[in-house]
Structure 1
Amino acid sequence: MLAWMQEAAKMNPFSSPFMSVKCQALENGARPLIPNRNIVAASVEESDSCEFGSNKYFLLCGLGGILSCGITHTGITPLDLVKCRIQVDPQKYKSVFNGFRVTFAEDGTRGLVKGWAPTFFGYSIQGMFKFGLYEVFKVQYSTLVGEEIAYEYRTSLYLISSASAEFFADIGLAPFEAAKVRIQTMPGYADTLRQAVPKMYIDEGLTGFYKGLVPLWMRQIPYTMMKFACFERTVELLYKYVVPKPRSECNKSEQLVVTFAAGYIAGVFCAIVSHPADTVVSKLNQEKGATAGQVLKKLGFGGVWKGLGPRIIMIGTLTAAQWFIYDAVKVWLRMPRPPPPEMPESLKKKYGLA
């Protein structure tokens, strides 16, 4: 019992995750689970709570995704609400500040948080699959192609792994996203998730929950591919050219600062790449019986870029916060956190760099 209580005390969320670490290379010729990714040793005082690439590791990654996406998306519900309303009714909601002012005047403070419940549940489910399956696919694909190809084509590896994960994540998100958009953009339709779900089922059946799935894939898969690939490569470049010391010499708080910076840079690109499809999703869920092609034709080229400014602010901050929380959860749970990839010795010899 005493040992269990000591372990629980170590894992409590109020203890500081920023403990000094000692990064060591693999010894005794041990082979890493992911080619070319040496496991970072945990703190001097503690060992890792799980083995890298184990089922427990992947489950904890999923938990990190739940906290990362659920908390951040719910926290920016007011900005998301105004962004959606600008997309579907730009005549009434002319800008971000105007949108906040009009919404507050009509619905008060409570009106600014409309749709928080489907946002929280939908993006928690999406985050679990997005981050958890990304780690799974990255390990599996790396093992499949071998360490040399995994290193030389690592950007492609990140893109394929993230796209595979997001495909499944959006299936879980779609029903909640459909309910959220209706709550936020259709006055009088419903005020809560409990009101919206039965009404959607009566009006449109099960198909109503998934009519926006394909546009959601069009929005989220490019977004996630950019989010993960840009983040991974930005982290690599920051440690190589910006951070004045090697990652192995950075403490965990310094590593989390790098994580946040790389996440924000990735978020800006994510917003631009995925915005047209985001506009189509918002408009599609507002108009009954419309198809993605009809909505796209009606909006035109200029229409699909409405609300890009607030979305860059929203997605940049959101992506940075998500990566920060996800990495902080790994620190808190004492999970293995491999450093950026390095060229394997076989490739160094092949290119005469050994």
Structure 2
Amino acid sequence: MDPESEGPHSVKVTPVQQVLASCTGAVLTSLMGKCFVYSNGLMDHMCVCCEETGSKAWYKKPGNFQGTLDAFLKIIRNEGIKSLWSGLPPTLVMAVPATVIYFTCYDQLSAVLRSKLGENETRIPIIAGIMARFGAVTVISPLELIRTKMQSKKFSYKELHQFVSKKVSEDGWISLWKGWAPTILRDVPFSAIYWYNYEILKKWFCEKSGIYEPSFMINFTSGALSGSFAAVVTLPFDVVKTQKQTQLWTYESHKISGPLHMSTWVIMKNIVAKNGFSGLFTGLIPRLVKIAPACAIMISTYEFGKAFFQRQN
């Protein structure tokens, strides 16, 4: 057998090619994932969830929604199917650079760790996943603040520049990283769990199928399963992040001050006291509906892109 085709790491993919593969995956995931955006009940996207008349209502969207499917159908009926992709530019502003940094760093770190620790070291996906996500969240955190503003109010770019300048002059540069801690608490464990399970599942499916290189469907399935498991485990931190952002929008929209500096643990204790332990897992199904296909599309597209460049190389 040709030694160049004996293993998945024998033909190198350059960092630039990894960037191109991850960029393609980010754009596709954003385009495919926007259809879940109004109905997932999460603050990271286009909807702001607030309590009105005893049921959840989505900010600036007509009517009250009883659930994911109900929101999905009502938005299409009232605003047309194109509205499911409204607000795509702010999402791409966040998704593309975050994904490029994250996936490229993960692969580069994995390659370095394999050379130091050996190809079969099981800790590599965990270490690389933690370090890559930590770096990506830190770099992208100011962009998330900007995207949040673009979504909550229709700012022009001039108004956006004025907002950022005012915030920096009043609260300092560190204010651009507001929300960094709860994001880290959610995303870093998610990354470690996701990559560890993804690599294990991919290897297991390959062994069961009797093939050496994972197929597109193996990558797709492994991504969906590992993403789902990580989403369940880290959901409490997502609920906390949602609560913080809901408070922020509520206080800003009513121009009142409020306890915006409550710690993650205090918010968790309040949720448990009010709704029980199950309150930390509010919105599990909508989160899975969003994350499972997003993880599957992203990783399978990324791996497909890398395989394409490997053949070219």
> Shorter-chain-normalised TM-score: which range?
0.7 to 0.9
Give the distance between the partners of 1:158 and 1:311, measured in 2 at CA: 23
Unaligned runs of at least 5 residues, structure 1: 1-22, 28-36, 42-50, 249-253, 338-354
Shift, 1:66, TM fit: 1.9
Aligned-pair CA distance for 1:183: 5.1
Q: 2:134 aligns with which of 150, 164, 167?
A: 167
Aligned residues: 278
- The equivalent residue for 1:34 is none
| Fraction of identical pairs, as percent | 16
1:203-225 deviation digits (Å, cap 9, x = unpaired): 64344432111111111112222
User: In the alignment, what sits opposite 2:309?
Assistant: 333
Aligned to 2:204: 237
Equivalent residue for 1:190, pick from 153, 159, 162 = 153
> Does the 8 A contact of 2:23 with 2:100 survive in 1?
yes
TM-score by length of 1: 0.67
SS at match of 1:259: helix
> How many Å apart are 1:236 and its aligned residue?
0.6
Structure 2: gaps of 5 or more residues: 58-65, 249-259
Following the alignment from structure 2 to structure 1, what is the Cα–Cα distance between the partners of residues 140 and 18?
A: 18
In 1, Cα distance between the equivalents of 2:83 and 2:261? 27
Change over 3 Å in CA distance of 1:98–1:204 after alignment to 2: farther
Contact 1:123 1:173 in 2 (8 A): no
How far residue 272 of structure 1 moved from its aligned partner, in angstroms, is: 0.9
Deviations 1:164-222 (A, max 9, x none): 111111123323333444555xxxx4136747734652664344432111111111112
Give secondary structure in 2 for the equivalent of 1:246.
coil
Kept in 2, the 8 Å contact 1:87–1:306? The answer is no
SS at match of 2:39: helix
The alpha-carbon deviation at position 155 of structure 1 amounts to 2.5
| Residue 13 (structure 1) aligns with | none
Alpha-carbon contact 1:66-1:126 (below 8 Å) kept: no
Match of 2:192 among 225, 229, 233: 225
- Kindly tell me: are residues 110 and 26 of structure 1, through their superposed partners in 2, closer, same or farther at Cα, counting changes over 3 Å? closer
Question: Alignment partner for residue 269 of structure 1, among 206, 229, 253?
Answer: 229
C-alpha RMSD of the superposition: 3.3
Give distance in 2, aligned partners of 1:68 and 1:204.
Answer: 33
Q: Do residues 89 (structure 1) and 50 (structure 2) align?
A: yes
Render the CA deviation track for 1:267-298: whole Å, top value 9, x for unaligned.
Answer: 21122122222222233233333434354344
Tell me if structure 2 keeps the 8 A contact 1:70–1:119.
Answer: no
- 1:106 deviates by 7.8
Residue deviations 1:252-279 (CA, integer Å, cap 9, x gap): xx71122112111112112212222222
TM-score by length of 2: 0.75
2: CA distance, partners of 1:193 / 1:273:
38
Alignment of 1:30-49 (within 5 A): 38-39=7-8
Aligned partners of 1:330 and 1:336 also within 8 Å: no
Residue by residue over 1:300-327, the C-alpha shift from the partner in whole angstroms, topping out at 9 and shown as x without a partner, is: 3433322210111211111111111101
2:38·2:71 contact (CA, 8 Å) conserved in 1? no
Q: Deviations over 1:206-251 (max 9, x none)?
A: 444321111111111122222221111111101112x1x3326xxx
SS state at 1:280 partner:
helix
Instruction: Quote the residue 1:128 is aligned against.
Output: 100
In structure 2, what residue type is equivalent to 1:283?
Q
Match of 1:287 in 2: 247
Aligned to 1:65: 22
Q: Residue 14 of structure 2 aligns to a residue in which SS?
A: helix
Alpha-carbon distance between aligned partners in 2 of 1:115 and 1:247, rounded to the nearest angstrom: 41
- For residues 255 and 180 of structure 1, the distance between their equivalents in structure 2, rounded to whole angstroms, comes to 35
Equivalent in 36, 40, 48 of residue 79 of structure 1: 36
1-structure distance, mates of 2:270, 2:77: 30
Give the direction of change, closer, same or farther, for the CA distance of 1:266–1:66 in structure 2 (3 Å limit). same
**Which letter does structure 1 place at the counterpart of 2:21?**
G
Given residue 240 of structure 2, which amino acid in structure 1 is its aligned partner? V
1:138 aligns with 2:101: no
Tell me, yes or no, if the aligned pair for 1:65 and 1:128 is still in contact at 8 Å: yes
Indicate if the aligned counterparts of 1:74 and 1:119 stay in contact, CA closer than 8 A: no
Match of 2:125 in 1: 158
Q: Which amino acid aligns with 1:38?
A: G
**1:3 match:** none
Secondary structure (helix, strand or coil) at the match of 1:89 reads: strand
Structure 2 distance, partners of 1:112, 1:261, is 25
Corresponding residue of 1:319: 295
Structure-2 residue corresponding to 1:247:
212
Using the alignment, how far apart are the partners of 2:162 and 2:243 within structure 1?
19
